[in-house]
Amino acid sequence: MTVDVRIAVGLAITVIGLGFVAWRALFLFRLVTSGQPAPGRFADIGAQVKAEIMDVFGQRKLLKRPGPGLAHFFTFWGFIVLTLTIIEAYGDLFDVTFSLTTWPGLGFIEDFFAVAVLVAIISFAAIRIRQNPARRERRSRFYGSHTRAAWYTLAMIFGVIATLLIYRGAQVVTGDFPYGKSWWAFASRSLGAAFTGMGHGAALNLETAMILGQILVIWAFFVFVLNSKHMHIFVSEPNVLFSRRPKALGPLATTPDLDPEKMTEDTVFGTGLIGHLTWKQRLDLISCTECGRCQDQCPAWATDKPLSPKLVIMDLREHMFESASELLAGQPLLPKPNEVPVAVGAAVSDGSSGATASDGAAEPVALKPLVPNVIAEDVLWSCTTCGACVEQCPVDIEHVDTIVDMRRYQVLIEARFPSEANLMLRNVENRGDPWGLGSSQRTAWLDGLDFEIPVVDSTIPDDVEYLFWVGCAGALDERARRTTQAIARLLKQAGVSFAVLGPKESCTGDPARRLGNEYLFQTQAQQNIETLQSANVKKIVASCPHCFNSIAREYPALGGNFEVYHHTQLLEKLLTAGSLRPQARIEQKITYHDPCYLGRHNEVYDEPRGVLNHVPGVQLEEMHRCRNRGFCCGAGGSRMWLEENIGSRINVNRTDEALATGADVISTACPYCLIMLDDATKSRQAEGSVSENIKVMDVAQVLEQSLAGVGARGGSPAPTAEETKGAGGLAGSEGLAAPDPASPPEPGAS
């Protein structure tokens, strides 16, 4: 082949490939950027750049699974380094002796990464072959992923590396190899040695064919990747860069402005149509690698519910591409009238304004309502908002925000949600707590104490440092109340001055917000902020991680700024300072369950363990799924108030794991976790499979035993119901885990 023909063929491939790539890239760019605004995506550039360095260039999350992580690490860096060889291939198209440099070190680096990528793709293939039979099983993280495209991609990467090494080997024979006779470029030299029997002419033809072959396979790869799920190769980098920092957990992404003055008839709350997604949410969809790490950790999926965070993202992505022409039309959006589901739930608050998009100047575009057409209702309501998916995702997809956005639309626009939640929402709205017991019961737990705690009347006394935010469960549930009393006694013993709001405390609104009722959340939040500000409260200690998360992380967006601690943080500080001195040995094996809203959402992992480690004799035994891989108790995301009638029970799954450690005590630091784990332990005890002596306790209760000198040796350390009867007993011996199912409110009641 003459030089002119070689150049003509190479440039023709390039022009055609570039045309396809540019057309597709422009389409993807327009599709993403035509999404709704995503506020705050440039709020912390330093943290965003740091995450890009750690998660993209350092492959931090992927390396948590060392095998596939290392293979991915070398593939990623191989692509970056081997960009140099693409430049060299284009140079060789015009002049076969072209080189960026003759420095042998570059030859070594290029050969090293070429071989590393080869080894990586062989290991990817081995993993896929090994897992192939299992990937059809629900337990496989690849269940539901597109597997064929992965094989095509591996084949093309192999093609890129094979053509590269062969043309460099042929160059060794023709004398065009730029890195001299040294063996630094070991792989190219080895192939060159294998080709030595080949004549100069044959080697030249092979060199030309492989240069053109490499250019062809590279463009074919680019075109294929941009048209498959492997487009993550190019879009996951900006997705990580624009993700919420420090991570998309804790507060929700948006706090909608519910000011009636600012609402128009086009105002839409949440996500009901694919067109309501923000540009970042659209970028999330095309960034998914279908790796299934999220699915693997999801408690709903693990207990045979229909929710898989991976499948949610994949289904939304498929629907987005199906609806691309409508989305790019740039017109007002409306649900397709014949597909709008009939509401079966109940609007609970005045915030259900029923606002929908209306006729604009342009003709509205009709789109399928997402729920139930794309995302089934059981999928949407199965989520506990535990955040395991967000924590695991290597490309920082923000599943929880998207799921709650879809819930917001269902609740506020469609008035459609599981009927069991109606009573809880009504109780919060009318009585200030999910159980509807009312403010008069909020101080009942004080009766079990032998000392006085100031109840704030107008303002917190000057000599009182902390406001103890008790929380609804901590004040009203019998089991959680024991923790509240233990914390109060510990603070008193440590000499900490604190007061409570008593009847002035009201639900933070967390259960309403996670269910999607943003209006009720903001009403509760504003009322509480007003109460706290008028009482001149500066420092708060909260015993419930959900209250802690709301007040510390979500109230600032509504003007409430307070210094908030979880009780384990304060207790650990007091222990370290010597203000609390545990004495009695608690010779027991204790396992600790990380509450999702304390651990993953707020990264408080060490302090609760620190409290337990201060207790002499305690043997802390970790569960397999712990810390940021902790498994939800099943109560988050307002699931505490919903029936769990699909699959197995999440709290039983978690409790079985805790029991498998052989622990005498299952400890935690959240009243909801305490109730869920205690229920599951009792059900196992009722079956006779578990010792009656095993207890579920808050870490504060464990600590208090040691301080009170109630040491234990393999027996029952926890206060019994009789011992704590003075606490009130309002809720009866079984606590207040659920609303009365016998009298559900009428659908549509408000």
Helix axes 83-94, 3-33, angle to 10 degrees: 140
Region binding ligand SF4 by CB under 6 A among candidate stretches 288-296, 323-331, 482-490, 718-726:
288-296
Among residues 369, 387, 474, 516, which is the contact residue for ligand SF4, using CB under 6 A?
387
Closer to ligand SF4 by CB, 211 or 300: give it: 300
Sign of the CA dihedral with 698 first, then 699, 700, and 706 last? positive
Binding mask 308-327 for ligand SF4 (x = CB under 6 A): -xx--x--------------
Helices (H), 535-566: 545-549
CA distance 62 to 36: 30
Q: Residue 683 and residue 644: Cα distance in Å, rounded?
A: 15
* Residue 293 found at the interface with ligand SF4 (CB under 6 A): yes
Given the complex with ligand SF4, which of 111 and 396 has the nearer CB atom? 396
Selected binder of ligand SF4 within 357, 389, 642, 697 (CB under 6 A)? 389
Please report whether residue 431 would count as binding ligand SF4 according to CB under 6 A: no
Is 607 within 8 Å of 569 (Cβ atoms)?
yes
| Local structure of 719: helix, strand or coil | coil
Residue selected from 51, 294, 437, 652 as contacting ligand SF4 according to rule CB under 6 A: 294
- What is d(CA 128, CA 123) in angstroms, rounded to the nearest whole number? 8
Closer CB to ligand SF4, residue 300 or residue 488?
300
> Interaction with ligand SF4 in 391-430: which residues (CB under 6 A)?
392-395, 397, 399-400
Give residues with Cβ within 8 angstroms of 607, minimum separation 6: 566, 568, 569, 571, 572
Cα–Cα dist 348/427, whole Å: 10
Considering only 31, 233, 249, 291, the residue that binds ligand SF4 (CB under 6 A) is 291
Q: Pick from 150, 187, 241, 300: which binds ligand SF4 (CB under 6 A)?
A: 300
CA gap 428, 739 in Å, rounded: 12
Please, which residue, 214 or 384, has the CB nearer to ligand SF4? 384
Strand partners, 334: 366
Running DSSP on this structure, what letter comes out for residue 497?
A: -
Distances (CA, A) of 663 to 59, 583, 630, 676: 36, 21, 17, 17
Residue of 88, 290, 478, 554 that binds ligand SF4 (CB under 6 A): 290
Q: Does 484 bind ligand SF4 (CB under 6 A)?
A: no
Give residues 565-624 in contact with ligand SF4 (rule: CB under 6 A): none
Sole binder of ligand SF4 in the list 386, 475, 499, 525 (CB under 6 A): 386
Of 668, 698, 734, 709, nearest to 486 by C-alpha is: 698
Cβ distance to ligand SF4 smaller for residue 293 or 481: 293
Q: How far apart are CA 281 and CA 638, in angstroms?
A: 23
User: For residues 385 and 483, which CB has a smaller minimum distance to ligand SF4 in the complex?
Assistant: 385
User: 496-533: buried (b, 16+ CB within 10 Å) or exposed (e) per residue?
Assistant: bebbbbbebbbbbbbbbbbbbbbbbbbbbbbebbebbe
Q: How far is the CB of 299 from ligand SF4 (least distance, A)?
A: 5
- State how far the alpha carbon of 698 is from the alpha carbons of 268, 582, 612, 678, in Å: 42, 16, 10, 11
Does residue number 385 form part of the binding site for ligand SF4 (CB under 6 A)?
A: yes
Element (H, E) at 498: strand 498-499
Query: Which window, 164-172, 204-212, 283-291, 741-749, contacts ligand SF4 (CB under 6 A)?
Result: 283-291
- Closer CB to ligand SF4, residue 230 or residue 368? 230
Residues 704/486, Cβ–Cβ less than 8 Å:
yes
Our CB check for ligand SF4 shows the closer of 172 and 307 to be 307
Please identify, using beta-carbon distances, which residue of 59 and 85 lies nearer to ligand SF4: 59
Among the residue ranges 386-394, 517-525, 533-541, 608-616, the one whose residues contact ligand SF4 (CB under 6 A): 386-394
DSSP SS3 for 378: helix
Candidate list 89, 298, 611, 669; residue touching ligand SF4; CB under 6 A = 298
Q: Across-strand partners of 335?
A: 367
588 CB contacts (<8 Å, ≥6 apart)?
617, 618, 619, 663, 664, 665, 712, 713, 714, 717
Question: Which stretch, 27-35, 382-390, 536-544, 614-622, contacts ligand SF4 (CB under 6 A)?
Answer: 382-390
Query: Based on CB atoms, which residue is closest to ligand SF4, 286 or 488?
Result: 286
Scanning residues 226 to 255, which ones bind ligand SF4 (CB under 6 A)?
none
Nearest to 540 by CA among 521, 567, 513, 559: 567
Shortest approach of ligand SF4 to residue 395 CB, angstroms? 5
Taking the complex as a whole, how short is the minimal distance between the CB of residue 357 and ligand SF4, in angstroms?
28
Least CB distance to ligand SF4 at residue 147 (A):
13
171/602 with CB nearer ligand SF4: 602
Part in contact with ligand SF4 (CB under 6 A); list of ranges 159-167, 250-258, 294-302, 478-486: 294-302
**Region from 24-32, 378-386, 470-478, 508-516 binding ligand SF4, contact rule CB under 6 A:** 378-386
Among residues 292, 345, 471, 719, which is the contact residue for ligand SF4, using CB under 6 A? 292
CA distances from 686 to 260, 651, 666, 682, 695 (A): 52, 15, 17, 6, 14
Told to check if 638 binds ligand SF4 by CB under 6 A, we report no
Binding site for ligand SF4 (CB under 6 A): 288-294, 297-300, 307, 309-310, 313, 383-389, 392-395, 397, 399-400
